[in-house]
Structure 1
Amino acid sequence: MTGEARIGWAARSMPVLTAIGSGFGDERPFEGLRIAACLHVTAETAVLMGALKAGGAHIALAASNPLSTQDDVAQALEEYGIAVHAKAGVDRATYYRHINQALDIAPDIVLDDGCDLVNTLHTERRDLLDGVRGGCEETTTGIIRLRQMAAEQALSFPVVAVNDTRTKRMFDNRYGTGQSTFDGIMRATNAMLAGRVVVVAGFGYCGRGVAERAKGLGARVLVTEIDPVKALDAMLQGYEVKPMEEAARTGDVFVTVTGNRDVIRREHLEVMKDGAILANAGHFDVEIDVRALEELAVEVHHGVRPNTDEYVLPSGHRLLLLAEGRLVNLTAAEGHPAAVMDMSFSAQALAVAWLVREHERLEPGVYDVPEEIDVEVARLKLAAAGAAIDSLTPVQEDYLHSWRLGS
């Protein structure tokens, strides 16, 4: 399948974003604006780039993860007139060179997935900050970093937290991550999950989705958490809750979904079962301490299966690291289904249009997506699926908005 065909296939499952792009083509809200993006270079992202370009934007795209880059899609985007600075499997230095190349257009708007582009702007390319009207952030890890920047008054422009919409948390984080994570694990290992112990580190929206899919596949699920409320939620949903120190000894498959670093550390690796599978579905390749794993191993067998490396410990136990500790769903599989990204990228496209309209009244900081955008995306998705909902009667409206009416 060519990159163009891959993009076309994705677009068929993205009716909401396609409709938004058609509207942008009529209204041209981004005429003359420059957008620098650091996102996963996939067919679904290509549909978003096409919608923004239809609105008049000049775009430069870098990859937010070199292992998820689809080179044929990058080539197709180049042919469509979008500058792409990305290649599958590049090293760290080249990764940041590509981000800087995307920033060379002196952007008016930035789109980020993990805050690396925004971080580079604020550290190495400060000369460009005055020209940036605002940005959007796609993932939890990036928003954590941005909120810290805002707290320290280091953030120079408004950023919309696209990740924090109700539709994205439900559709993308929960259902998308849950499905695509096990798609990646199964492609990489061909392992059977029924009857095995799956340890899910983190019970946020992504962790809930991973735990639900694991349970549905017949696995026994253990959850590790640092938040007592989330841990209680996991327990009441029927999952065992243990600290990683205990879970490490019993788990067969480990999935990290925290957005933090060193979730699986040396002391955990040392006590794991022979054949334990290690996968990250959070964000950066720091959730599993890969450096500690390399130091512990007496032998390393790369590529025992596609996207699977085997580390032999002094005990003789073999640990299987998937996707080099990077996002397993985007590296060993194709990421979220296009129907999921239709929701996320539709919210992002409408958030960009809102930023362009409202940026002059916004102070630097992190902003939620306006509720009306979230509701509109859900409404359009329901309509595209042929579903309909009820509406309130005038009497119901009065009842909900009056304190004078009794029960």
Structure 2
Amino acid sequence: MEPCERARLHAYFSKIASQFAPAEPAASFLVTHLLAERPAFVRAVAAMSRLRAVLPKPKSVNAAAQREVEQAIPCDTLSRELFTDPDTALNYLESRAPGESIVLLDVGGYFTPTISELHSRFSGQILGVIEDTENGHRRYADVDKLPCPVVSVARSPLKDPEDFLVGQSVVFSTEAVMRDRGDILHGRPALVIGFGKLGSSIARLLHAKGVQVTVYDIDPVRRTQALSQGFVVARDREATLAGAGLVLCATGSLSLRGEDFPHLRNGAYVATVTSSEDELELDGLPDVYTRTAASEHVTRYQTTGHYFYLANGGNAVNFLHGASVGPFIFLVQAEILAAIRMLTRAGLAPGMHEVSANDRAAIAATWLSYFNR
């Protein structure tokens, strides 16, 4: 990032922070993709709250960004296991912010397994959670009797540009890793599993490249949407898997179970938009499969008479090339900052919440003044 771009980004986040600054800042913990541009957002969170620790998602860490963040804020190791056991999760929070009022900023529902225990046992007060992803949104929505408010930005209209551009980056990176091996998209029927914001963007982009696209989604409403947009909608999932030369998983939950992989046609590529632990049941693959490196970012799974390729170890393929969506990501990050103020004001009932339309409009207007150039 050029110095002038850094200065503009700093000015933008300073403006957002002044617009949404809480009267009394709370402590916070930040789960995030620690990508190259992310330190500016981390500084903004620290300006809006007493940021006690950054927990980078392990498969999306830019080393330079982490070094920059660590100069001011501790970076702790993140895993699903850290917040699966109530005692482990509680001990972690107590070690960093004992007795404080805290806000948890999440990406993918990491705090969901123990949120009720943490809320009741923590020595301070958990004011609430802010969730960034559709996957995490569903996890919190599925919690029986949420003990605190959860502000989700996953379905915000300010996230639509990001989702579209993430879809572009997924298609770009998938094609890039295929071309590294001398393969191309054309002549290879594609199956897109999941027709939400990301899946629909991916399907449209593949179609624009001349790829034959079939869509599968468990939601019948989304299947009708795909059909209305001219896509073939799979009736028989197993048969469609057998015919696809490229499978793109975009559900945000479990797309392929262990028993699904043997149905893939020989030489099929599999790529995902999120982490392998969310989209793929790789541990459920039959033991007869052996793994070898087909190229730097492609793994070949082979057994007698069958083989397929997995991009980026099953993790988000677009992170191979930075997963950049340009300045549009700063819209969503600003909405997360607005959500911090919502929670620190208190008064929100337990359950799912969204940032107000007025606050979103204010964010968009500020963003346009800095980035519509």
Taking structure 1 as reference, are residues 9 and 291 closer, same or farther at Cα in structure 2, changes over 3 Å only? farther
Gapped regions of structure 1 (runs ≥ 5):
1-7, 388-407
Structure 1 position 256, deviation (Å)? 0.9
- For 2:52 and 2:233, how far apart are their aligned partners in 1? 46
Partner of 1:248: 241
- For 1:171 and 1:109, how far apart are their aligned partners in 2? 26
Structure 1 position 125, deviation (Å)? 7.8
**TM-score for both structures, normalised by structure 2:** 0.86
Q: Which of 92, 103, 108 pairs up with 2:102?
A: 108
Partner of 1:183: 172
Contact conserved, 1:244 with 1:268, CA < 8 A, in 2?
A: no
Letter in 2 for 1:269: F
In structure 2, the residue corresponding to 1:179 is in which secondary structure?
helix
Measured on the aligned residues, the alpha-carbon RMSD in Å equals 3.0
Aligned positions of 1:40-189 closer than 5 A: 40-55=33-48, 57-63=50-56, 65-79=57-71, 81-86=72-77, 101=92, 104-106=95-97, 108-123=102-117, 126-128=120-122, 130-149=124-143, 152-153=144-145, 155-168=146-159, 170-173=160-163, 175-189=164-178
In structure 1, the residue corresponding to 2:279 is in which secondary structure?
coil
Taking structure 1 as reference, are residues 118 and 95 closer, same or farther at Cα in structure 2, changes over 3 Å only? closer
- For 1:318 and 1:53, how far apart are their aligned partners in 2? 48
Partner of 2:299: 309
Could you list the per-position Cα deviations for residues 10-51 of structure 1 after superposition, in whole angstroms to 9, with x for gaps in the alignment? Answer: 993896785133452698537653111112122333221111
Letter in 1 for 2:297: N
Taking structure 1 as reference, are residues 199 and 349 closer, same or farther at Cα in structure 2, changes over 3 Å only? same
In structure 2, the residue corresponding to 1:320 is in which secondary structure?
strand
Letter in 1 for 2:141: R
What is the percentage of aligned positions where both structures have the same residue?
Answer: 21
Q: Which of 21, 31, 44 pairs up with 2:14?
A: 21
Gapped regions of structure 2 (runs ≥ 5):
none
Q: Which of 335, 342, 359 pairs up with 1:347?
A: 335
2:350 maps to 1:364: yes
In structure 2, the residue corresponding to 1:295 is in which secondary structure?
coil
Partner of 1:273: 265
- For 2:138 and 2:52, how far apart are their aligned partners in 1? 26
**TM-score for both structures, normalised by structure 1:** 0.79
In structure 2, the residue corresponding to 1:342 is in which secondary structure?
helix
Partner of 1:376: 362
Taking structure 1 as reference, are residues 177 and 296 closer, same or farther at Cα in structure 2, changes over 3 Å only? farther
Structure 1 position 269, deviation (Å)? 2.0
Aligned residues: 363
Structure 1 position 354, deviation (Å)? 2.7
2:316 maps to 1:327: yes
Contact conserved, 2:248 with 2:270, CA < 8 A, in 1?
A: yes
Structure 1 position 267, deviation (Å)? 4.4
